[in-house]
């Protein structure tokens, strides 16, 4: 018997079984590494997506608003009430109604803007009266009250107070007593205030501001513009800040 030709069936089955075990182990390891690879790829894609979204958010911070170009003539700014440096590189204009709830909601944003940009000389702010008399019956008289307070150097104090307390006088049938109470709180001479109202000294100024806004195509309040970039409706402080900062950066070039 030739030992080199001897064939042991049991030995063959054992050998095949061992190879099968190795194959299953290799196959399992391959699957494990495949799963790990896929998981890492998913994580990388998600991370890349987050970075891309953040980058787009930074680059399109201004375009998040619906901005429309609108050409203003600075010579008409005297129809509104202005504050800030006359030569500030950026002008923010607001067309608003004292009785308008949306304007009242936007006012805290503008107050913060005035502190951060107007008071620091970076921005000139011009407020234009645009009373929507058809729906806001007290808007016209409120605008006159603010301007009459201005004759006693308290325009912005009355402006802010009218918005802060809008709910008190907005739907009143006769808000004058309430307005006079505000005047007393601000230390105004209410006799002068009533004289200013009765003579209609500020009525025509409000009407001229209103007509200017309408001629510029303003039919909704608030409408504001940063230089010649106009936005209908309010905005968050972050959006307004981004728009102002972009205009400040452009003014440096």
Q: Where does residue 248 rank: exposed (0-12), middle (13-18), buried (19+ CB within 10 A)? A: middle
Please check whether residues 172 and 121 belong to one and the same domain. yes
Please check whether residues 32 and 100 belong to one and the same domain. no
* Cβ partners under 8 Å of residue 223, min gap 6: 94, 95, 96, 130, 213, 230, 231, 232, 233
Q: Are 189 and 152 contacting, i.e. CB atoms less than 8 angstroms apart? A: yes
Number of structural domains the chain divides into? 2
Q: Which structural domain, as residue segments, surrounds residue 204?
A: 68-251
Please check whether residues 43 and 162 belong to one and the same domain. no
At 28 the pLDDT is 55
Please check whether residues 81 and 176 belong to one and the same domain. yes
Residue 106 lies in a domain: yes
Please check whether residues 84 and 194 belong to one and the same domain. yes
Please check whether residues 35 and 116 belong to one and the same domain. no
Q: Give me the tens of pLDDT residue by residue for the chain, a chain 253 residues long.
A: 334 444 454 544 444 444 445 445 555 555 565 555 545 554 444 344 433 333 333 333 444 679 999 999 999 999 999 999 999 999 999 999 999 999 999 999 999 999 999 999 999 999 999 999 999 999 999 999 999 999 999 999 999 999 999 999 999 999 999 999 999 999 999 999 999 999 998 999 999 999 999 999 999 999 999 999 999 999 999 999 999 999 999 999 8
Global pTM exceeds 0.85: no
Residue 3 lies in a domain: no
Please check whether residues 149 and 212 belong to one and the same domain. yes
Rounded distance between C-alpha atoms, residue 3 and residue 5, angstroms: 5
Please check whether residues 55 and 80 belong to one and the same domain. no
Please check whether residues 28 and 143 belong to one and the same domain. no
At 253 the pLDDT is 80
At 206 the pLDDT is 98
Residue 167 lies in a domain: yes
Q: Are 128 and 79 contacting, i.e. CB atoms less than 8 angstroms apart? A: yes
Please check whether residues 28 and 136 belong to one and the same domain. no
Residue 53 lies in a domain: yes
Residue 149 lies in a domain: yes
Q: Where does residue 67 rank: exposed (0-12), middle (13-18), buried (19+ CB within 10 A)? A: middle
Residue 1 lies in a domain: no
Which CATH number does the domain housing residue 94 bear? 3.40.30.10
* Cβ partners under 8 Å of residue 196, min gap 6: 144, 148, 151, 202
At 55 the pLDDT is 33
Residue 34 lies in a domain: yes
Please check whether residues 231 and 147 belong to one and the same domain. yes
Alpha helices in the chain (DSSP H): 9-59, 101-113, 139-150, 155-164, 166-169, 176-185, 190-198, 203-215, 237-251
Residue 2 lies in a domain: no
Please check whether residues 165 and 206 belong to one and the same domain. yes
Rounded distance between C-alpha atoms, residue 130 and residue 219, angstroms: 9
């Amino acid at each position: 018997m030739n030992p080199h030709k001897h064939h042991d069936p049991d030995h063959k089955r054992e050998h095949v079984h061992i190879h099968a075990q190795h194959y299953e182990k290799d196959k399992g390891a391959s699957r494990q590494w495949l799963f790990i690879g896929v998981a890492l790829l998913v994580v990388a894609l998600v991370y890349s997506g987050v970075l891309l979204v953040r980058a787009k958010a930074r680059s399109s911070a201004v375009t998040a608003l619906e901005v429309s170009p609108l050409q203003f003539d600075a010579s008409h700014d005297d129809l509104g009430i202005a504050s800030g440096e006359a030569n500030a590189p950026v002008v923010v204009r607001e067309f608003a109604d004292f009785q308008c709830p949306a304007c009242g909601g936007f006012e805290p944003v503008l107050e913060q803007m005035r502190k951060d940009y107007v008071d620091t000389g970076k921005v000139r702010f011009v407020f234009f009266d645009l009373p929507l008399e058809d729906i806001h019956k007290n808007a016209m008289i409120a605008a006159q009250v603010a301007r009459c307070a201005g004759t006693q150097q308290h325009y912005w104090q009355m402006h802010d107070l009218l918005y802060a307390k809008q709910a008190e006088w907005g739907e009143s049938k006769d808000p004058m007593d309430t307005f006079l109470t505000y005047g007393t709180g601000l230390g105004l001479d209410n006799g002068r205030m009533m004289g200013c109202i009765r003579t209609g000294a500020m009525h025509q100024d409000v009407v001229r501001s209103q007509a200017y806004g309408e001629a510029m195509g303003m039919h909704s309040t608030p409408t504001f513009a940063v230089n010649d970039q106009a936005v209908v409706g309010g905005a968050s402080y972050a959006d307004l800040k981004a728009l102002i900062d972009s205009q400040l950066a452009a003014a440096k070039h």
